[in-house]
Amino acid sequence: MDIRQILINLISNAVKFTDAGEILVSIKKAEEHCSPFTIENTNVQISVKDTGIGIEKEKQTEIFRAYEQGDYDIRNKYGGSGLGLSIVKGIVEDMRGSISLVSESGKGSTFFVDINLKNVTKNKKNHPYRLGEQV
């Protein structure tokens, strides 16, 4: 559920704030922790990159706080609650991971989430199989 929630929020923001171009979602394994036998103790970096409106330098910290939405024009044009990123940050930090952002106003944004798969909640009820099980 955790990873699903992170992806839903970051991808829907990317779609919402990108009128033209592309959205690229990628997951990379951090090399130094690679294990060929199990995914249980593997660091991964999820990134969601878009070619949308971008985020001004001064706003790049505060948008992770609840109800923060950039300036009035953005709030007015795109709507929303300003809760998505604060929820993502909370989930990521509960998993002892980190979230960061590289963006330039007008030139798109990339959100990075670094987590260890061993800290991802295993929720049998919501998944047909558990993380780490062979299918």
Write down the residue that tokens 């558990």 correspond to. Answer: 130
Residue 46: CB minimum distance to ligand ADP, A: 14
Residue span binding ligand ADP (CB under 6 A) among the ranges 32-40, 51-59, 90-98, 115-123: 51-59
Q: Is 95 left (phi over 0), alpha (psi -120 to 50) or beta?
A: alpha
Among ligand ADP, Mg ion, none, residue 70 binds (CB under 5-8 Å by kind): ligand ADP
By the rule CB under 6 A, 81 interacts with ligand ADP = yes
Residue 58 carries which side chain, given as an amino acid letter? E
Instruction: Tell me the one-letter amino acid at 40.
Output: E
Instruction: Single out the segment in contact with ligand ADP by CB under 6 A; choices: 31-39, 49-57, 90-98, 118-126.
Output: 49-57
Q: What are the tokens at 14?
A: 């990317």
Q: What does the alpha-carbon distance between residue 91 and residue 89 come to, in Å, rounded to a whole number?
A: 6
Q: Binder to ligand ADP among 27, 28, 35, 80 (CB under 6 A)? A: 80
